[in-house]
Amino acid sequence: MGLSKTVTTILTGKTAAASDETAIADCTELDLSAAVQIELEANVVYNASGTDAAIVRVWGASSTGDYGDEPIDTFIMPFTAGSTIQHSFQTRASPKYMKVTVSNPDSSYSITGISIISTVQNVT
């Protein structure tokens, strides 16, 4: 038995309009059957007049496409108006399937350039 790592871009080049969220359907589904650890790298571009940080929401499911009403994990991104921010964090490897969305609480300005890259460490 060994370990391997798989890097996958699961969300790329998306925009979250003011007071909106990226669609769960836009995110590539991760199969975590053999996962031991998961790291997510989020990238966002804030408007120069923006006022609120993006919120990354992690969704888990026991069967493909069967995502509930509440995320299993939530992370608030660092915020600097007019900046491109890259931030990494670890989340749980317990669900069978996973997707990620990015919410924009700013009521006036979009968040652009949204990408999520996953690094999954698996048992091989």
Domain chopping of the chain, boundaries:
3-123
Name the β-bridge partners of 8: 118
Q: What average pLDDT does this structure show over 102-111? A: 98
Query: What is the pTM (predicted TM-score) of this model?
Result: 0.94
- CA gap 34, 50 in Å, rounded: 40
pLDDT at position 1 over 80: no
What is the pLDDT, as a whole number, of residue 65? 87
In b/e form, how buried is each residue of 55-64, taking b as 16+ CB within 10 angstroms? bbbbbbbeee
Residue type for 38, please?
A: I
What is the pLDDT, as a whole number, of residue 96? 96
Report the CATH architecture of 3-123. Sandwich (2.60)
Q: What average pLDDT does this structure show over 66-84? A: 96
pLDDT in tens, 28-67: 999 999 999 999 999 999 999 999 999 999 999 999 989 9
Residue type for 37, please?
A: Q
Tokens of 6: 């798989």
pLDDT at position 13 over 90: yes
What is the pLDDT, as a whole number, of residue 24? 97
How many CA atoms lie less than 13 Å away from 103 in the CB half-sphere?
11
pLDDT at position 15 over 90: yes
Residue 57 · residue 40 · CB < 8 Å: no
